[in-house]
Amino acid sequence: MASAAEQLASNLNFAAFAKAEDLKKRIWFTLGALFVYRLGTYIPLPGINPEAFAQAFQQQSGGVLGMFNMFAGGAVERMAIFALGIMPYISASIIMQLMTSVIPTLEALKKEGEQGRKIINQYTRYGTVLLALVQSYGIAVGLQSGNNIVSSPGLFFQISTVITLTGGTMFLMWLGEQITARGIGNGISLIIFAGIVAGMPRAISGTLELSRTGALSTGLVLAIMALAVVVIAIIVFVERAQRRLLIQYPKRQVGNRMFQGDTSHLPLKLNTSGVIPPIFASSLLLLPATLAGFSNTQNMPAWASSILSALGHGQPIYMFLYGAMIVFFAFFYTAIVFNPKDTADQLKKHSGFIPGYRPGERTAEYIDYVLTRITVLGAVYLVAVCLLPEYLIAATGVPFYLGGTSLLIVVSVTLDTVAQIQGHLIAHQYEGLIKKSKLRGGKRGR
């Protein structure tokens, strides 16, 4: 079976893609949905002075707003109807994952299978609405406090802003679910991916312009491009890396026949936590700079100014805290999304065991031991990928558009989407082989 799958995978070509009508429909649907999303990032919020807001945004682009603007595909910079993006949904999903680990009722729902998952997803949607309402109200109040940003401030502007931004987030959540169900790839991830990639042409042209004017040497630009290729290759390798634990199942007797025990593997990803640790770490570190930007920095105490300057990009304290927070959240989030005890119980329930370890508690301890070791490697990998752009910015002064977090998202989403496309092509070729075998069998019967 494995050799047949490998043979099919090796024969994937454009001819097979041309025959896969269902796959082409899914890809066109995905592209159309992402086009609608990109259009929404250019529709401005009613009652906003674009020039005044653009000037105010430039002062805050180095904080959390700059990071959210990158994830939202420039919608924050233009204060569009999709300015909140899909981040409230991601925050609500993370909060629900945390709550399922500490609240017994939600933990029981998680173990109920498909029905429990639907209920948890519904709670996640409610949480998304609540977070979007709070964040959009905060944006409305913040816009009104700016200089001439809002043409007619007041209660009507606040209500219209809250409804528009919350509605935009809910539409994106629905659009992401439609892409997942009727398109190709994970819809929410693809929306973030599209937002990040949309700014790449402008960033590349800006870098080339700096090289043309002599602000950056051609050798430095070529070295950075070569380094980017190497980093992407490392990300692809690590994101695909797994530690496979051998699982054996005992022999079983059916009637008078004895069947040999099966073997399988329990795959443990090297980077189990994904991109969540860098997002959490960067958001917390950029929060003080963002809050300070909204306040009067001239009246700020000396100790607060020194802390703020120490937490600036490229500063040693900032880079140390950034790396430490990534390591902490890597272990913290891995402990949430993967429970060795539950995995050991599932293996015991299905009569599976790891050779050399008793089913139950000893198996859970061994899985936890292996998971801790690979999480150390995964955390070191995340720190290296995320701190490399920060170091290069501090050393060379080159403005990098793709930081560690965004680069991880782009590469991971690309790998997952390509894997799904290959899966659809393999399934299509299998269906073709089955149809051919049935036709041959029918002719022989005649």
CA distance 348 to 340: 12
Helix (H) / strand (E) element for 318: namely helix 316-337
Q: What share of the chain is helix, strand, coil (3-state, %, to 5)?
A: 75, 5, 20
Beta-carbon contacts of residue 45 (< 8 Å; ≥ 6 apart): 79, 80, 81, 83, 161, 164, 165
Model pLDDT, residue 279 = 80
Beta-carbon contacts of residue 437 (< 8 Å; ≥ 6 apart): none
pLDDT digits 0-9 by tens, 59-95: 665 555 666 777 777 777 888 888 888 888 888 888 8
**Nearest 10 degrees: CA dihedral of 300, 302, 308, 312?**
130
pTM: 0.78
**Nearest 10 degrees: CA dihedral of 385, 388, 390, 393?**
-140
Q: What is the mean pLDDT of residues 246-258?
A: 69
3-state secondary structure (DSSP) of residue 55 = helix
3-state secondary structure (DSSP) of residue 249 = coil
**CA nearest neighbour of 128 among 86, 180, 75, 183:** 86
CA distance 5 to 109: 36
Asked whether residue 121 carries a pLDDT value surpassing 70, the answer given is yes
More confident residue, 148 or 326: 326
CA distance 198 to 190: 12
pLDDT digits 0-9 by tens, 265-282: 888 888 888 888 888 887
Length in residues, the chain: 446
Q: What is the mean pLDDT of residues 376-395?
A: 84
Residue 396 pLDDT level (bands cut at 50, 70, 90): low
Angle at 306 between CA 305 and CA 311, to 5 degrees: 95
Model pLDDT, residue 171 = 94
Residue 36 pLDDT level (bands cut at 50, 70, 90): very high
Residue tagged 């494995």 (tokens): 2
- Give bridge partners of residue 44 from the DSSP assignment: 80
**Other CB atoms within 10 Å distance of the CB of residue 300:** 14
Distance between first and last Cα of the chain: 30
CA distance 385 to 379: 10
b/e per residue, 46-68, with b = 16+ CB within 10 A? ebbbeebbeebbeebeebbbbbb
CA distance 215 to 227: 20
More confident residue, 200 or 341: 341
Question: 264's torsion region: left (phi>0), alpha (psi -120 to 50) or beta?
Answer: beta
Q: What is the mean pLDDT of residues 323-339?
A: 87
Residue 170 pLDDT level (bands cut at 50, 70, 90): very high
CA distance 259 to 374: 35
CA distance 185 to 27: 9
Q: What is the mean pLDDT of residues 179-205?
A: 84
Amino acid identity of residue 116, one-letter, is G
Q: Give φ, ψ of 74 to 5 degrees.
A: 85, 5
CA distance 82 to 61: 18
Q: What is the mean pLDDT of residues 151-169?
A: 89
- Give bridge partners of residue 80 from the DSSP assignment: 44
DSSP letter at 243? E
Beta-carbon contacts of residue 151 (< 8 Å; ≥ 6 apart): 47, 48, 49
Q: What does pLDDT average to over the chain? A: 79
CA distance 409 to 189: 8
Model pLDDT, residue 8 = 42
Q: Give φ, ψ of 208 to 5 degrees.
A: -65, -35
DSSP letter at 153? -
